[in-house]
Amino acid sequence: MTSLKKTILIAEDDALLRNALVDKLAREGFNALEARTGAQCLRLAFQHHPELIILDIMMPGLDGREVLKKLRIDPWGAHARILVLTNLGSGEIGIDVNDVDGHLVKSDTRIGDVIKKANALLSVGDGHLQSASESELPEFRCVCGKLLFKGTLHFSTIEVKCKRCGEITRIDASDRKFLG
C-alpha cells in the first residue's frame, strides 16, 4: 500500500531543532526525513523526491548554498519546493531568493510558524492535477513566459511567485483569468 502522506525533508545540523521539526511534522501527518549534512540532504532528496525540503544554509561540509545549486541543475530538483530556514537574513544567505519558495529566520520563527509555512507551500500545488491527460490540462504562465503550473485549480484565487522573474501572479480559478 502506498502512503498518501506528503514527505518533507529537513536538512538541519542542529539536532535539537531538527528533532523538534521531525516530531512536529510527524504529529501533523507528514512523513519527515532528516539530514544532518548537505550531502545527506542531496542523497535523500534524490532518493525520495520529497514534496518540500526545509534547508539550513550553514551546515558542515556541503552547505545549503551548494545543496541548492546541485538540486537546481537536476531535472527533478529544478522544480523542488525549498524553504530556507537559517539564522541568516535575506541579504546574508548568498542565494537568489527567486530560487527558493520561502525564507524564514530561525531566531524570529517558532516551530508552529515553520509548519504553517510548509502547509502553505504544499497547498499551492496540492490537488492541482486531475485525471485528464497532461495535454488537456490548462497551463498557467507568468508574464515572463515561465510555466507556473499545469492543472486545474481547486481554490477560488491563488497567488504564485515566479521563480524566474519574481513576479507575483494572482489567478482566478472560476474563469482562469490572471488578476495581475
CA-nearest of 102, 49, 54 to 75 is 49
Q: Is 29 left (phi over 0), alpha (psi -120 to 50) or beta?
A: left
Cell of 84: 530556507
pLDDT in tens, 154-164: 555 666 777 76
pLDDT at 45: 95
Query: What domains does the chain contain, in order, with CATH numbers?
Result: 7-125 (3.40.50.2300), 134-178 (no CATH)
Residue recorded with cell 472560476: 174
Entry pTM: 0.67
Q: Is the pLDDT of residue 126 over 90?
A: no
Q: Among residues of the chain, what percentage have pLDDT more than 90? A: 31
Alpha-carbon distance of 79 to 60, in angstroms, equals 25
CA-nearest of 70, 72, 68 to 86 is 68
Mean pLDDT of the chain: 77
Please give the full DSSP string across 112-129, using - where no structure is assigned.
Answer: HHHHHHHHHHHHHHTT--
